[in-house]
Amino acid sequence: MGEKNWAGNHEYRGRIARPTSVEELRELVTGATSVRALGSRHSFNDLADTDGLLVSTAGLPAGIRIDPDARTVTVGGGVRYGDLARELQAAGWALHNLASLPHISVAGAIATATHGSGDRNGNLSTAVAGLRILTGSGELVDIARGDAGFEGAAVSLGALGVVTEVVLDIRPTFDARQRLFGGVPWDVVIERFDEVTSVAYSVSLFTTWDEESVSLAWLKELDGAATTIADDFFGAPALTEARHMIAAMDVRNTTEQLGVVGPWSERLAHFRFEFTPSNGEEIQSEYLVPRARAVEAIQAVRALAPVIAPLLQISEIRTVAADDLWLSSAYGTDAVGLHFTWFRDQAGVEAVLPALEAALLPLGARPHWGKLYLDVDGVVPSLYPRLDDFRALAASFDPAGRFRNPFLTRLLA
């Protein structure tokens, strides 16, 4: 039996190599006819798979180098965000945001436009200032913000080559706190959505969609920032005990709550780096809807609650700022992510996704590249206005098609 992804719902077909240097990586890549880079294996589909060679980036040099004058950090593509965050915090620096899980690799996260939350916060790829990419010919290519094609390279789905180094924007370190509120009325979410999501640096709403109210609002607030929320969040009371968003899970896995101030590196992610948040017994899907259609999308999903709730552990609603990265799910529009953490029932989830996508894709919802989606009618390519430009960019970096796989063929053919 082959190796599987973190969730255990996808088995990799190819042979996995684990290079420990760029030179070893170059030999592997140039000697293969079909190759894909493998990060922390938190994708839930076949995005990173191939029947040829898989190269793990986990053993490549970390190479964390801070440039305080440029306000950037250079880091190896296989480094996990949790490790990078600790290094930055120790040196007095920070990233603008983190995803829910700090266990994911930098290159894998930016390649799929993975995001945190916040009305004014772009996804993790928007912090990219430069990339070093090992191409199929063995050449190391540097591309930086301002260069032609950079907006396509920042979210590349691994189509250009193996990202060996990433340059990220950084800012001086800051402190934050997290507060939880229970029972947000649905009519408030629907009628005052912009107010609800704008009251903190980041606002996440957790629900199973069949509830009379949203079960949990999770606010991340900058220490010292003015707030209009005391112990009442639009009718929802502040919680006085820490909570995991999934009732059956151990709250010790989550980052500290209840208003305790701490460094950004210990607050912006939902889960602690030192704990595995679950055993991977889940499948995830996510659809990012243009903000202008968010309320319609929320109402459409609520109408599907009887169908999806039996398969659902929890769902999260959060916001992402617009950007200009060609394959970003927030390209050209502020977006609202509707995230679904399912029980690990592949057949059951695939049975309900067509109904969910029939409701969301016509609203312009873009699936998260690394999550499970079906797109049975082939709608997704039409949601990216710069897809032709990306096709040309991918062809220029990888004319032999070494990094093509079935996922990219479906998207780019």
pLDDT for 278 equals 60
Q: CA triplet 222, 227, 229: central angle to 5 degrees?
A: 120
Handedness of CA 305, 308, 314, 319 (dihedral sign): negative
DSSP string covering 378-389, please?
--GGGG-TTHHH
Instruction: Report in angstroms the alpha-carbon separations of 411 from 2, 374, 375, 380, 405.
Output: 26, 12, 10, 8, 10
Neighbours of 241 (CB within 10 A): 8
Structure tokens at 257: 């709550």
What's the mean pLDDT when you consider all of the chain?
95
Q: Reply yes or no on whether the pLDDT at 263 is more than 70.
A: yes
What confidence category does residue 274 fall into, taking pLDDT thresholds of 50, 70 and 90?
confident
Between CA 307 and CA 237 the distance in angstroms is 30
DSSP, collapsed to helix, strand or coil, labels residue 107 as helix
* Domains in the chain, CATH or no CATH each: 65-173 (3.30.465.10)
What's the pLDDT at 379? 96
pTM here? 0.96
Question: Under a CB-based contact definition with an 8 Å cutoff, are residues 107 and 277 in contact?
Answer: no
Q: What is the mean pLDDT of the segment spanning 108-113?
A: 98
Is-contact 89 176, C-beta < 8 A? no
Query: What's the CA gap between 373 and 74, in Å, rounded?
Result: 33
Burial of 13 (0-12, 13-18, 19+ CB in 10 A): middle
Phi–psi pair at 180, nearest 5 degrees: -120, 140
Q: Give tens-digit pLDDT for 200-245.
A: 999 999 999 999 999 999 999 999 887 778 889 999 999 999 888 8
- In our burial notation (b when 16+ CB lie closer than 10 A, e otherwise), range 148-184 reads ebbbbbbbbbbbbbbbbbbbbebeebbebbbbbbbbb
pLDDT value of position 277: 63
